[in-house]
Structure formats: structure tokens, C-alpha cells
Chains A and B, each alone.
Chain A
Amino acid sequence: MKFTLSWLKEHLDTDATLVQVRDTLTMLGLEVECITNPAETLKGFIVGYVVEAVQHPNADRLRVCKVDTGTGILQVVCGAPNARTGMKGIFAPTGSYIPGTGITLKASKIRGEESNGMLCSARELQLGDDHSGIIDLPAETVTGQSAAEALGLDDAVIEIKVTPNRGDCLGVHGIARDLAAAGLGTLKPVKMDRIAGSYASPIKWTHGYEAAPDSPCPIVVGRHFRGVKNGPSPDWLQRRLKAIGLRPISALVDITNLVTFDLNRPLHVFDAAKLSGDLVMRQAREGEQILALDGKTYTLDPAVSVIADAKGVHGIGGIMGGEDTGVQEGTTEVFLEVAYFTPIRVAATGRKLGIQSDARYRFERGIDPQSVEWGTDVATRLILDLCGGECSEITRSGVMPAWQRRYELRTDRVKNLTGIEVSAADTASILTKLGFGIEGSGPWTASVPSWRPDIVGEADLVEEVTRVFGFDNIPTTSLPSLSATSRPVRDALQRRTPQARRALAARGMNEAVTWSFLPLKKAERFGGGGADVRLLNSIDATLDTMRPSILPNLIDAASRNEARGLADPALFEVGPQYKDATPQGQRTVAAGIRHHMAVPRNWAGPARPVDAFDAKADALAVLSAIGAPDTLSSQPGAPNWYHPGRSGALKLGDRVMAYFGELHPEIVAAADLKGPVAAFEVFLDAPPLPKAKATKARPKLVLSAFQPLERDFAFLVDAGVEAEKLVRAARNADKVMITAARVFDLYAGKGVPEGKKSLAIAVTLQPVERTLTDAEIEAVSDKIVAAVAKATGAVLRG
């Protein structure tokens, strides 16, 4: 919403400075977005008096002028056809920057005649389109006066952001009312006297449906004018509209724009001569069309409110009038429409037809229903004053929507809700100045003015009082402490996110954050893409489905990095994935990929490509960091985006904690990546949460006084037997004495029969009561060999 300082002062009697106005507006909730003053671009331009204008001796189209600038006489060569002796115009001295041409003036000789400066056209000053001649100022203009002053342009333009609840501030009068309530002056009343009609309106308002308070248009008022003259509007009106970026068109159209921006009262005027019979407020018929004032043709349906006559549709209710019945220069008969349209209906229609207009913007926020009456009066006065003619009696149709509401404001409510002490007198005064009817002296009953549809309860009254009294008065009170000790902000499950993030970053991976959505094709390849997780209105097809896995986004990120020449990306993300649209379908997952080399070329040893065990290590690191038990088993069975032979699941019993492995070569190729990609996905909610305990004390640590010893065993076993199975059998052969068992060698090839492998393990024995004898060690060894043989069919290698 834009307006000028002088326009504001039409409604507000104040001697406040621009800075005070700016700061007060912002602190009232009418945030000032910017203030500009066109006078700044006209600095240095002055009123010049053309003492003499004579024909240029060497050029037919040029004149040589002697210009009085108030401080001296200068010679200027001028090409304007209207330059003449005795006129006053805008003079730009040498050195001026001409905004319309982008040229800085220099003293020069034009066809042999000296020229010191320039007399300017409206277009050269960017004040309009006129370039037919130089600006011709009234004779009484003072020579030497600044151009901005002479043109009435020394007027700051203020632009404020109006929140959707404050439709009443989409008119300058409403803004002035807020400022007056805040103590920045006195609100001037709007002159709205009823002018009696001198004849019966030949056009009547009617409704095509039974008008009710919640009808698309509950009430409409209007009247007929005859004998009007629709020329250009007066300067003051044109200036006002231009200042806020509107183009003056004709007096009648300019009046409707003025009332819209001045009083938040959109109007429409029809050329009455082009109407056939009475006007009706009705719903459009299927397929009806209208050529609107924006030059576009809209096809309507019964959800759209229209204004129509016997022949057809001439306006879209609350949004835009029709081109065919619009007023023109020759218009002499006018019919005025002053209607109230219901916000919800206007918003729906505007959205559906995709039309933005100043009328829609105001109606959908809710205007003053009573303005159908006073708006008619204000418009009548302006039309008669600016266009002459006479007006008919008023015609109206429909019922006034109920706008009267009263709410109680408890005496202590402002203090209890905001912490601010506002005296009873101030409370009543603020509400009164905002237009509320006030009864009582605390508690109060406040009657809401018709222009404030946003006030619907006591909390709104509290806001009105506090914002006008000043948010600066809100005390700064720290929250009282809830307990003597502070508890962790996150619970045990939530803490797994930072634990996983820190574990992976500590392993040299870079954390990324990627979109929650991806293309449908990728979702489908990763087991997702169900209809319930496809966006109905995605920005584009690359972001149209909720991701069933984080991996596709990380793979894309790896491709982008490789394309930028950044080698060996190791990326992870801890975030949501979506199986379906239910809250339970969303899980927090720590996923990561390592591409190409796990160890790059280096002087100290060989390079090594990534493989499934890098991913397994990452997954185990996350599981360990989030407190998963160490009794996990690794088994084949990762989903089909992994390499079927080089991937697996980490499980606790039957529950999957994580997947890991090399990505399926098909996916790697599709991503244009060369070489293997190791990937993992850890489900942070999968490991059971530890039971809440009364204390943080850990179980007692029991240490043996005897040195542990390690024995090595090399087994020959079928190639398909999983190492984990063999190790577990060895580990469980004696649960007291054996504390660890690990694989230290794997061999197949020469010396090992086809279909077999040699798996060597080291078993740690921990004596408990005394040092072991050779016989005891021998006995445990035999148990290990027997247990492994039983579980896997392995034999000790000779």
C-alpha cells in the first residue's frame, strides 16, 4: 500500500515529521517498507522564464531562447515547438542529469548558437509520456523556484506492508486513524453528505438470487448520472495517482481509483448508455464470457458472481468490470456500482480466474459493509464536482450483512496477557480513537466498528490496546526456571541424530542436507513412489515424489561433485525417508555413500577402492554411537538397490538395524559414476532404547590377574560358509574361558581345494583363577575345533 505524506495529511491533522510517521507506522504493525521522494531526482531543476524566444538563424526547427533563472539570464537553444516568449518552464542548468534521457548536460554550441542548459519535457523528467513539447507552467509560477516545488512533487511516497487482517488500512483514511490513535495527530472526518437525486434512476439494482447476509453480494447500491463530461481529471488528482504508480485515465476512472485508495472503497462506473435495462447481481451461467478491463476474455461458470443486464455479463463481482460497458471520453451517462462482496467468494473467484486487481485485494480482506451507503455519497460528490451533470435517486438491492459485534474486555486481561500496565483511561481512549464504542470503565464492553471485520474476540481487543499503547512497553521477563537441574533437551531417541552425525563426520565423511523429494522414477527404483507420496503440485518433475531413501539424493550429489572435479566424495545425511504418507511411514535414517577410492594414491602405500566393508564399518560406527548392542549379525538380504552379492543387513534377531554394501552396478552406471560406490542406511529408531534406570551407575568391572593368551586356528571350510557363523561357533565353544575370536586370514586358491576356503581365526583365552596348564589349553582347543566342525563342517587345516 502506497501513499504520500501530503495525502496522509488530508486525513490527519499533524505536525509530525516524516521520521515520526515512519517509526509510528512500523510500531503500529503497519511496517514501512520504503520511503522515496521524487524531489530527489529533480534537485537543481528550477522554474525558468523565457524572456525571449526567436528563430534559430541556421535551423528551421530550433529556437534560441533567453531564459531568466532568477539569478541571471542564459541563452538556451530549444527544439520544442511550443517554446515561446513569456512562457515558464522547467529549466535544467548545465551539469544536470536528465533522468529521461540519461544524459548529463554540458554547455555547447548548437549550429553556431551557444546553449547553456535545457528546457525540459515531461518525458525527459520521467513525469509522464508527453514529449510533444516542453512543460508549460502557469504564468503565476515563481521564476527560480525549485522544480519539485513548482510541480507539487516534493512529497514523500510511503510504502507500507499491510497484513491480511488490516484491510481497513488499504485506504489512507484508515492509516490516518491508526496514527491518530497512537497520538500522532487528529483524524479529520471524511465529508460524506447525502445528495438528493433529481430524477428516478432509469437503471435499477436487482438480485438474481435471494440476497442474504452470506450471499456472494449481500447488498449493492448505485445511482444514475446524466449530463456528465468525462475529460482528464484535475492536476491534484492526477498527481496523487501518479505518485503511487497509477496511470490517470479519465476523471470518472480516476475517481474510482481515488476512492479505492483513499477510503478502501472500490467502485465501478458503467457507461449507462451501453447498458440494456436493469442490472442484476447473479451467478454466471455455464460458459458465459466476458471481455474484462484487462483486455482478456474469461469464460465463467456458476461459481462466479457477475453483474449483468438483459444482454449479458458486464462485470466479475468484486474483481473487475467489463470492457464493453466501461466509461470513455465521450461518456455522458453513468451508472455507479457500490457493492459489498463476501471475502471468501471473491478470493475463490479471483484464484480460479487468476485475476489480481485492487478491488479483489480489498474485497477479499473485507471492506466496511456500511461503505455501500457512504461510498455512494462520496463518489456522487466527486462525480458532480469533477464531471458536472446531475444525479438520480439512489437504487439499492439486498440486505446489509450483520457487522455489529460486542466483546467484553476484562480489566486485568491486558496485563495478564502482555505484562503491560495500561491505565483504564488509556485503554478506553485507545479503543475509542480506533472507532470502538466503549461501555464501562473496566471491565469494558467494546462494540466493533463496521470496518474492522478482523476483531473477533477479547484477544483482538488486547492486541489493539497494546499495539497502540506501544510494544516497546512490554517488559523483558526471563522465563522462570522449572527445576534446579537442567535436563537434556533431547530424549534418548532424538539424541541418536547428533550421535550418528558426529560419528560419521569423525570417520571423515561430509554431512549433506538434501531435498525430501526426488523424481518419481528414482523413488520407484528405491522401493517407493506410491500414489500417496506423490506431490499434486510439485515445482517440477525432478522434485515430485517423497523420497523412500536418502541414497538417490546422495548419489546425485556425488555425481555433481565428480562433475566439478572433486574426487572420492564421502557424503552422508541424517534425515527423514518416507514409506507412505502416515506419520509412522516417516523414519529417521543415517545414510551415506563413499565413491571410488577409500584410500587414494599416496606415497606410503597402495591405493584401495571402496568396498562393502567400508560401508559396513560406517554402519557399525553409527550403530555403536547410538548405543546398539554388539550382538548384531550380518546377513545377506539388502534391498535391490544394492549389489546382490556384495551387500547385507545388520540385524538384531530378526530386526533390521541397517543395510550396507556396494550399490547395484546398474544404479552406479545410471548416475554416470565410474567405479564402485559403497553405501549404507542405518535406521536410527531400530535399535531398542535402553531401559530407564534409577541410577547412571555401571556394572562392576571384574579384571583377571592372569595374562590372556591367544591361539590361532586355520580351518578349511566350504566357500559358502559365512565367517561370522564360524567365529560364533568358536567363540561359544567355552563361554567362560574364551573372551574373543576374530578372523585374521582368508585364503582360497593354490593349496586349497576347489569350492573351499581357508579361514584363520585367533581365539583369546582368559584364565580366571590361575594360569592355564598345557593340558587345559589343549582341551579348550579341542572344544573349539569340535564346535566349529559341528556348526560349519570345517576341518582344521593340516
Chain B
Amino acid sequence: MDDLSTIRSEALDAVQAAADLGALEAARVAALGKKGSVTGLMKTLGGLAPEQRKEFGARVNQLKGEIEAALEARKGSLSASALEARLASEKIDVSLPVRPEGQGTLHPIGQVMDEIGAIFGEMGFTWADGPDIEDDWHNFTALNIPPDHPARQMQDTFYLPSRADGTPMVLRTHTSPVQARTMLNKDVQKRLADGGSLRIIVPGRTFRIDSDATHTPMFHQVEGLVIDRTTHMGHLKGCLVDFCRAFFEVDDLPLRFRPSYFPFTEPSAEVDIGCSWKGGELKIGAGDSWLEILGSGMVHPNVIANCGLDPAVYQGFAFGMGIDRIAMLKYGIPDLRAFFDADLRWLRHYGFSALEAVK
């Protein structure tokens, strides 16, 4: 009897004392292994009388069960603390920075072009392109700016060597030559003849000899052109009111149409938007000041005729707006020259995220 209780207490003590899974296994082997103390007791059963064997056997089995349960319990507790210890040892400094990755940005000009495209797209306009190096017919003559007209002195033009046929070549001074290129397109003329409507915007690079604090020799414009049989100045006003309000995100933005002069439109209007200068800070919206943002008008009958359409049948409007300028106004960018300097600090500060949504 003493034997049994000694074995019991020794085995259970060893289980409890096991400090890790290895020691626990040693304790199991010491008790329940082939040469273990409990296994040794089992081996003695064969030498006992049947009565005794039954009674002693039951007690040994109970002891075995008890030890197994203790082993299981101890194992559970040892695993948990082992995991705990591992986790504790695996702690990192979460305040360390992530691995380096560049923060890319989009230039405000492209962003604003996308915004312009989205707004006019909703109004049924499509995007048209033309070459930056133009012949003077498309840049001037087609647009009712004949040679020696004073309007040619309004814009100081970059010239390139004339073509072999003598045609003077220029860097386009405005995006307006694309008006002519589009109206002259045979598919466009057919669509108009079938009663359709032409609505294009032409965002792009433009060039003038001008370089000071507020002028750069290259800048960006967006041209708009609508031609059909019925579009009038009220539509021009409606279209630009809708655009300016959407672009500047001011629902009640006031617009003012002022008579002006452009050789390629008649009547011509300059368009101002309302603003205020409280505390020296420009706020776009209803206010006590006006800010000129674009030129526009009804396409001159001579331009329509120069582009192979009958001005007695077709009419429409055109406008031209500085993209850099409206980008500066909307996003509070102070200096035009910086647009073209590629200073990383500027690109990162005024740039847009790659995934910046265009409404």
C-alpha cells in the first residue's frame, strides 16, 4: 500500500515540478514508460491472487488515470506559457517607418484638364487635338486674322522656318486653330449636314513670346466650340455658367459677360466670375469684385465660311480659357512660373494623388 501511495506522490510531484515540455515528458516516462514506476506496478499484478489482483488492479488503473490527467493538465499550462514567452520575445517597434516607397503625384495642369474634360463631357462635348506647330493659315487666316491685321500684334508669335511652299509656320498662339481643323473635317461636315451638332473642347499647349512674373512662353488653354443651326449666345452663357459653377464648386457663382473684341467671334464677350478679396485672400463666389477668366463669342461668319461651312446655315459659339490660370485660382497656386520648374517640393505640395477622383 505504502508503495502505491509513494509512487503516486512521486509521480504527481514530478508532473507538477516539470518546468517545460521536456521535463514533463521525462516525468511521464518515469511513471508510465516501459520502465516506469506505474508500469512496474502493473507488471506485479500477474503474481497476485485473483481477489487481490482485481482490487489492486483497479487501484493501479485509477492511479494511471490520475497521472495521465495531471500530465495533460500540466502540458496545457506549459504550452500556454511557452506561447506567451514566444510572443513576448517577438515584440517589434511598431513606430519604425515602413520600407521606403515614393509618393507619386499628378501635376495640377493634368488634373485640371481631367476636371474640365469631365464637366464638358457631361454636356456632350468630345476632346479634340491639333498640332502645336501650326501653319499660319490655321492659326491666323482661317480665324479671320488676315496678314497685317492689328490683332496679329496683340499676340507676339514664335515663328519657325516657312514650309517649302512658303507657308509661314508658327507655334500656335491659341488652341483656336483646332476649331478650323475640326470644322474642315469631312465627317464633321457630314454630321452637321445631317442635322447633327458639333461640340468639342481642345485642351492643350499654347505659346507666345512673353516671359515675366505672370507670363511664360508656354502655357495651356482650353478651347470650346459648338456649331449647329440654332445655338445662340444664351447657350454660350448657359454653358459657361454651368461649367464655372461646376469647376469652382460654387453653386451660385455669379458670371458677368462684357462686350469685347476678338477677330474670330462676333459678338464677342469677356467673362468675369464674382469674387471677393477680404483680408487680401481671394474667395471665388458672390462678392464685390470681378475676375476675368475667359474670352468667348459667337463664331465669326468669316471663320465658318473659311472652314467650308455656310454661315447662312450654321452658327455657334467658341470660347478660350487659360488652364493654368483657372488651376491657380481654384487651388490657390500663387506663381505661374513654378508650374514649369519641376521643383519636387512644389510638385509634392500642389500635386494630386494618383487616384484623385475626377468628379
Contacts and interface: CB of A to CB of B under 8 A. Distances in A.
B266 A489 contact: no
Given A347-B153, A479-B239, A586-B131, A27 B259 contact: yes
B354 to A, nearest CB: 4
A209 interface: no
Contacts of B99: 599, 602, 604-605
A71 interface: no
B267 A560 contact: no
B200 to A, nearest CB: 10
Interface string B323-357: 00000000000000001111111011001011100
B160 A486 contact: no
Interface stretch (B42-50, B51-59, B65-73, B121-129): B121-129
B267 A467 contact: yes
Contacts of A458: 301
Contacts of A466: 233, 259, 267
A336 to B, nearest CB: 28
Interface in B230-256: 230-239, 241-242
Interface stretch (A107-115, A498-506, A687-695): A498-506
A467 B238 contact: no
B209 interface: yes
A137 interface: no
Interface residues of A, number: 102
Interface in A488-533: 488-491, 494, 497-498, 501-517, 531-533
B102 A418 contact: no
B341 A583 contact: no
Nearest to B158: A535
A564 B348 CA distance: 15
Interface stretch (B1-9, B109-117, B278-286): B109-117
Contacts of B348: 510
A489 B106 contact: no
B104 to A, nearest CB: 4
Contacts of A478: 235, 238-239, 242
B342 A571 contact: yes
Contact of B161 (A479, A504, A534, A564): A534
A482 B197 contact: yes
Contacts of B298: 417-418, 459
A111 to B, nearest CB: 48
A467 B114 contact: no
B255 to A, nearest CB: 9
Interface SS of chain B: helix, strand, loop or mixed? mixed
A560 B124 contact: no
A482 B199 contact: yes
Contact of B127 (A481, A482, A489, A604): A489
A569 interface: yes
A26 B131 CA distance: 36
Contacts of B235: 419, 477-479
B217 A512 contact: no
A416 interface: yes
Given A462-B266, A479-B226, A535-B159, A164 B261 contact: yes
B204 to A, nearest CB: 9
A490 B242 CA distance: 20
Q: Which of A497, A532, A581 has the most CB of B within 10 A?
A: A581
B107 interface: yes
Given A27-B259, A467-B259, A488 B102 contact: no
B351 A511 contact: yes
A348 interface: yes
Contact of A29 (B120, B259, B266, B340): B259
A23 B201 CA distance: 32
A512 B101 CA distance: 19
Nearest to A465: B267
Contacts of B88: none
Contacts of B150: 164, 343, 347, 364-365
A514 B261 contact: no
Given A417-B298, A418-B234, A477-B235, A28 B342 contact: no
B257 interface: yes
A604 B117 CA distance: 43
A487 interface: yes
Which 4 A-B residue pairings sit nearest by Cβ, starting from the closest? A508-B102, A419-B234, A489-B121, A29-B259
19 contacts: A343-B150, A347-B150, A364-B150, A418-B267, A467-B267, A478-B235, A482-B199, A489-B117, A489-B121, A491-B126, A502-B106, A511-B107, A533-B133, A533-B160, A560-B341, A571-B342, A571-B347, A581-B133, A602-B99
Interface of A: 26-29, 31, 163-166, 343-344, 347-348, 351, 364-365, 415-420, 457-460, 462-463, 466-467, 471-472, 474-479, 481-483, 486-491, 494, 497-498, 501-517, 531-539, 543, 546, 554, 557, 560-561, 564, 566, 569-571, 574-576, 578, 581-583, 585-586, 599-600, 602-605
Given A29-B261, A602-B100, 6 more contacts: A467-B267, A489-B121, A490-B117, A505-B353, A560-B342, A569-B344
